[in-house]
Copies of this chain bind each other. A is one copy, B any other.
Amino acid sequence: MSDSVHKALWERLELDVEAHEALLAVLGKFYGDIYLSQEGRLQGAEYLDFVLSEVHGLRIQEIQDAKATGKKVVGTFCVFVPEELTLAAGAIHVGLCAGAKAGSEKAETILPRSTCDLIKSFVGFKLARLCPYIESCDLIVGETTCDGKKKAYEAFGASVDAMHVLEVPHCKMPSDRALFRSEVVRYKEALEKLTGNTITAAALHEATITVNAKRRALQRLARLRAADPAPISGRDALLVNQISFYDDPTRFTDKINVLCDEIETRIAKGEGVAKAGTPRLLLAGCPMAVPNWKLPYIVESSGAVIVGEESCIGERNTRDLVDVTKTDLDGLLDALTDRYMKIDCACFTPNTERLEHIAALARELKADGVIHYGLLFCQPYAHEAFKVGKAMTEAGVPYLSIETDYGMEDMGQLKTRVEAFVETLS
């Protein structure tokens, strides 16, 4: 990741080039230790390694080239922002960096200390000028999913050129659906204003098919992980989901389908990344943004394999497709609204469907246990951890709840807890 062939690009984006290169060097080392050290990886992982190595390089160059032709770039932090609309407006849709402890000190000058590391991360990346994606954005879209983000966008918005905050309601009653429907329309209008393009029914229909295809590829990958031995590591599968937020959607879909072909071959041969019978774990909870690979690394170096991610960077983003049977604009906007209102985010109350989803997923993936991952100071998922624990106990599924942040100080303690948990499953 630390190839300074892109230095001129980063200078043009007014990054803090020195700090940025130092960050890339650390991440490169981290990636080598966590990813490149794995045995029995798929050939298709070459795509993942390449994308990651060029995540701040070639992909940014590609985005800048598109900008030079008049394309606009929209940055987001949440799976509630309908990518279908962004693409239909002819813009590029990217998920923004929020997985590393960088710029935290600067972030704490405008955010409370009791803010989760994901929020501190994106604010820090901006204030410390470390993220070429943020600097490439023509519009940044926030949302009201949690208090931390909702209020952070007020301060963050002052440091970016254009900010749009999408309101996500608290419940799923008809009045909430109506509110979110109006928010979908308001986002559509913001995109039309930004790009100068009118979002037509045909363009939205096509974009919806594109995003559905991406989600289908991710669903295919998720289902293949039910095989024992596990055909892909949890780390690599998480990386696939992380990359789905950055790469061109059509290229990504093609690559992941090729990866899935390879996985099918591997399954047919009875091969995998770990021995058959290796304890299988489902991770549930907060999203793990690039390069937040700490817990997956701990789990998979403790004698277990991760077979699913019940999180926004995982199942929560891929479970539901948009109905494309209606092809008129109103029908498509209705279908988008309905699809996004199905998301089982902890921001909703009561959100009991999430408990059912986790139990079903654990069954489908033949998971031997569930680890709930909460980011320190993330209140919505911290509350749900209690509920998930109760539901898993009732379902007879072994359960471990972990709360941590982006720091490395608790690595040893976490490893001890995870190893002890894995031991009970063997």
Given contacts A179-B178, A387-B154, contact A114 B167 (CB under 8 A): no
A170, closest chain B residue (CB): B144
Q: Judging by beta carbons under 8 Å apart, are A146 and B144 in contact?
A: no
Task: State the CA gap A168–B170 with chains docked (Å).
Answer: 8
Interface-facing stretch out of A133-141, A212-220, A329-337, A374-382:
A374-382
Q: Judging by beta carbons under 8 Å apart, are B165 and A349 in contact?
A: yes
Q: Does A70 contact B (CB under 8 A)?
A: no
- The contact string, 1 if C-beta is below 8 Å from chain B, for chain A 348-363, is 0111000000000000
Shortest distance from the beta carbon of A69 to any chain B beta carbon, whole Å: 34
Contact with A384, one of B148, B151, B174, B347 (Cβ below 8 angstroms)? B151
Given contacts A169-B179, A179-B178, contact A114 B384 (CB under 8 A): no
Contacts of A152 in B (CB 8 A): 383
Contacts of A153 in B (CB 8 A): 349
Contact with A179, one of B112, B148, B175, B351 (Cβ below 8 angstroms)? B175
Contacts of A176 in B (CB 8 A): 167, 179
- The contact string, 1 if C-beta is below 8 Å from chain B, for chain A 82-126, is 000000000000000000000000000011101100000000000
Tell me how many chains of this kind the complex includes: 2
Task: State the CA gap A198–B99 with chains docked (Å).
Answer: 54
Task: State the CA gap A148–B152 with chains docked (Å).
Answer: 17
Measured as residues with beta carbon below 8 angstroms from the partner, the interface class of chain A is 35 or more
Q: Does A171 contact B (CB under 8 A)?
A: yes
Q: Does A346 contact B (CB under 8 A)?
A: yes
A385, closest chain B residue (CB): B112
For window 146-187 of A, CB contacts with B under 8 Å fall at: 146-148, 150-155, 165, 167-171, 173-176, 178-179, 182-183
Shortest distance from the beta carbon of A22 to any chain B beta carbon, whole Å: 29
Q: Does A30 contact B (CB under 8 A)?
A: no
Q: Judging by beta carbons under 8 Å apart, are B169 and A376 in contact?
A: no
Q: Judging by beta carbons under 8 Å apart, are B349 and A150 in contact?
A: yes
Contacts of A151 in B (CB 8 A): 346, 349, 379-380, 383-384
Q: Judging by beta carbons under 8 Å apart, are B383 and A154 in contact?
A: yes
Q: Judging by beta carbons under 8 Å apart, are A382 and B112 in contact?
A: yes
> 7 shortest A-B CB distances, which residue pairs?
A151-B383, A112-B382, A144-B170, A175-B182, A147-B379, A175-B179, A147-B147
Interchain residue pairs with CB less than 8 A apart (6): A112-B382, A151-B346, A154-B351, A168-B170, A175-B183, A377-B379
- 19 further interface pairs, Cβ-Cβ under 8 Å (given A147-B383, A178-B178): A110-B386, A111-B383, A114-B382, A144-B171, A147-B147, A147-B347, A147-B379, A150-B170, A150-B349, A151-B346, A151-B383, A152-B383, A153-B349, A154-B349, A167-B169, A169-B170, A173-B182, A175-B183, A377-B379
